[in-house]
Structure 1
């Protein structure tokens, strides 16, 4: 009996163990099956991915460029570098491949091809089939969705709207606004004389923002004395963060970026940018509503408006009003309108203010050029207080040379395009799907075109030197379908503002050109700000006996 019980117990234990082993074996088999399936799916995806990219990778292998690592490509080039280091790193690699004038990078799975020779930039920028911005520009779209960031049909529609700002004979009306705002700026700057060194960009940003609010949005915001408006600082810092994100692919996924300290900071800046822009839009909407009511009351009382036609034409503000018309038709909310309008606001404010700041810095360092500019201004205006006119702009030749030299050195250092088809550049074929890195920074420092490429040398823009260079060796406003439509507007605004400042002040700056450090933003920004001192002056009236 005991033996029988023991036998049954052993059998039960053996049976249980066998069942356990069978279950364990089943689980192991299932796990291996799942792993094999996942590995097979991964391999199938890689084969499919590589097969679809075979044309891209085949042509990329024929392009010159630095050594790459599997999967990571050339990411190690940018690990640990600051935003300030980035532009110099790109320049270093560009110089290394100077003979080929084309250089290939892999940023993870993204093929980026850098070009900077004038003929290559012309062939790319002027190609009507190469107008799409890289997918990396989507990083800007949380801030704005206008003509700067978008592609396709939406871009074409918005570009037509932007172009309306610069059609017809409107420059005289714009110049009037440039004068009014710059003279208000001069009164503001008078308070800073005798107080030592200050960052002039703070005041210039508010002035140029006020100008763009009046000329493109039809609204007077009275910003020059308003320190509560942080829009300029928010734009500058958010641009810096967005551009830094572009060469850090580990920050590409939005859910990762939003969790980072930098991502949270960027969205705080963007929220304030949107709030300001919505305020401007609401103010313009109210102006139009009041004007419509006034016009209706006038007609009902039998009166007609015979006001200043030029002022009426200017106040039409075709840019923002075109968006407001769409708002009525499509019921677009203020936030969407803000996203669409912001590219013009930011472009008109940032580029002009940074350029003006650099001009004052350079004139403070290079006193010989400040003397030349002061002399031509004094000869043109004497001790009069009259406005700068459109005709005056053509006589400010020394000032124009200084502005252009600043733009050569510090305009937008680069931009990106997406190739939707193969493009032939000399002996190289750039494949569809590649991102083209257009380096204006290297173009404007190419010793083949510039006698003093790394110096501040306004004589680069003497007529004889201009004629000796290729046509598209100077591209501060880019060219082609994506070129900036506001070239005349931008140059005129800078000339008027700087002329009115320099009529009243001398400029001093303690910086040394060779020690200045820069970082990429929408322009090539000066690290540490734009420190100058202003000294009140009276114009010197030159007589014939004083002439050289």
Structure 2
């Protein structure tokens, strides 16, 4: 967004605290249906705390948007750096300069909704996904070895940072990420409001009903994912995905309200995992049954994930010792 908040070095940041607090508040309310009505929640639940926390989050994003919009003319004209190369624009700058077919720009509320989505949902989800992927690679030496072989083919012995062309070539690593998201989707369930009467397995579901989609369970459908508990990245090779219904695998939701940042998330994960695996071999220190996933807003292991890292450039995959 073009704004530094130093979240990693300043964990006492009010914004950082509010992000985590809001996640807890929402998760608690989801599990207590008697607090779903707003008037009950406001008088007897965390309604006031919810509003205070939301105010902190919105105040921060509003301030950032206001500061950037005041400098929009400077941003538009400042396209070149000192050496004549194109200067990279922040995502927020692009939102501020986006126009529709009539030349109208987005208003502040529309921009705020997009900024809040990226700021609030764009960090924990990818972190959780990479967490699970590292564990799964550490527990499956063959997949680990195949990823490092692919990295060596793309990067050789170079320590240069990854670029877009490199990311496109990391096909098997992308399969690993997708399989990790199948087994442990970052968002284990989501809700939809039914827009019209429909029939499902002989039952009439009326318009206006709320449907809960359990991604975690959906991804274990044996018709499309044989031996669903097995970690098999090869499931997502193009030849193995032929004929699979598009809604059998929905880690980023689906339809009109799917995740706006899914392509960005996959690229981000590929870049970070590639950086880790180019420098370290990974060994899992826990069995999968010991991890006990907790299905809150984000799917996390109950007590975290412990791994061993062995320093070395393209070391052996088992990381023994």
TM-score by length of 2: 0.79
Whole-Å Cα distance in 1 between the matches of residues 95 and 156 of structure 2? 37
CA distance in 1 between partners of 2:281 and 2:17 (Å): 27
Question: Structure 1 240/368 Cα, relative in aligned 2: closer, same or farther at 3 Å?
Answer: farther
Deviates more, 1:453-462 or 1:280-289: 280-289
Distance 2:131 2:67 in 1: 30
Structure 2 counterpart of 1:372: 146
- Mapped pair 1:467 → 2:242: yes
Corresponding residue for 1:344?
Answer: 118
Q: 1:432 to 1:355 in 2, by over 3 A?
A: same
Q: Which residue matches 1:480? A: 255
> In structure 1, what is the Cα distance between the partners aligned to 2:270 and 2:223?
29
Counterpart-to-counterpart distance in 1, 2:266 and 2:154: 18
Instruction: Confirm or deny: 8 A CA contact 1:401 1:458 kept in the other structure.
Output: yes
State the match for 2:265 in structure 1.
490
SS for the counterpart of 1:356 is helix
- Report deviation, 1:499: 0.8
Cα separation, 2, equivalents of 1:520 and 1:308: 49
- Distance change >3 Å, CA 311–CA 521, structure 1 → 2: farther
**How far apart, in 1, do the equivalents of 2:36 and 2:153 lie?**
55
Contact 2:130 2:269 in 1 (8 A): yes
User: What is the Cα deviation at residue 469 of structure 1?
Assistant: 3.1
C-alpha distance in 1 between matches for 2:242 and 2:16: 38
1:525-540 alignment runs, 5 A limit: 525-539=300-314
Task: Flag the structure with larger Rg.
Answer: 1
Corresponding residue of 1:190:
none
Among 191, 209, 213, the alignment partner of 1:438 is 213
Q: 240, 243, 254: which is aligned to 2:38?
A: 254
Q: In the TM superposition, what is the alpha-carbon distance from 1:487 to its structure 2 partner?
A: 2.9
Work out which of the residue numbers 521, 528, 533 in structure 1 matches 2:296: 521
Contact kept in structure 2, 1:376 and 1:396, CA below 8 Å: yes
Shift of 1:422: 1.0
Q: Compared with structure 1, are the counterparts of its residues 240 and 277 closer, same or farther at alpha carbon in structure 2 (3 Å cutoff)?
A: same
2:166 corresponds to 1:392: yes
Q: Does 1:280 align with 2:64?
A: yes
| SS in structure 2 at match of 1:317 | helix
Relative to structure 1, the CA distance from residue 263 to residue 314 in structure 2 (aligned partners, 3 Å threshold; closer, same or farther) is closer
Given that residues 382 and 540 in structure 1 are in contact (C-alpha distance below 8 angstroms), is that contact kept between their aligned partners in structure 2? no
Give the aligned partner of residue 27 of structure 2.
Answer: 243
Does residue 382 (structure 1) correspond to residue 156 (structure 2)? The answer is: yes
| Structure 1 residue runs without a partner (length 5+) | 1-216, 296-303, 542-548
Matched with 1:410 is: 184
Distance 1:326 1:399, change over 3 A: closer
Instruction: Using the TM superposition, give the Cα deviation of residue 401 of structure 1 relative to its aligned residue in structure 2, in angstroms.
Output: 1.6
Shift of residue 524, structure 1, vs aligned partner: 1.9
Contact preservation (8 Å) 2:75, 2:93: no
Name 1:140's counterpart in structure 2.
Answer: none
Residues 365 and 508 in structure 1, CA contact (< 8 A), matched pair in contact too: yes
| Alpha-carbon distance in 2 for matches of 1:523, 1:242 | 11
Q: Which runs of 5+ in 2 are unaligned?
A: 317-321
Equivalent pair of 1:407/1:476 in contact (CA under 8 Å): yes
Query: How many angstroms apart in 2 are the aligned matches of 1:315 and 1:442?
Result: 34
Structure 2 residue 127 is matched with structure 1 residue 353? yes
Q: Tell me, what secondary structure is at the counterpart of 2:129?
A: helix
Instruction: Give the C-alpha shift of residue 287 in structure 1.
Output: 4.7
Q: Distance in 1 between matches of 2:91 and 2:197?
A: 46
Separation of aligned partners in 2, 1:322 and 1:345: 19
- Deviation digits for residues 65-107 of structure 1 (CA, Å, limit 9, x no counterpart): xxxxxxxxxxxxxxxxxxxxxxxxxxxxxxxxxxxxxxxxxxx
The answer to whether the 8 Å contact 1:378/1:540 transfers is: no
Equivalent residue of 2:65, what SS?
helix
Structure 1 residue 381, shift from structure 2 partner: 0.9
Equivalent positions of 1:37-56 (< 5 A) are none
CA distance in 1, matches of 2:92, 2:212: 38
Structure 2 counterpart SS, 1:519: strand
Counterpart secondary structure, 2:272: helix
Given that 1:240 and 1:520 are in contact with CA atoms closer than 8 Å, whether structure 2 keeps it comes out as no
Partner Cα distance (1:308, 1:347) in 2:
35
8 Å CA contact retained: 2:218, 2:249 = yes
Query: How many pairs were matched up?
Result: 310
RMSD: 3.6
Distance 1:274 1:449, change over 3 A: same
Q: Which is bigger in relative contact order (C-alpha 8 A, separation at least 6)?
A: 1
Pick which of 280-289 and 493-502 moved more: 280-289
TM-score (norm 1): 0.49
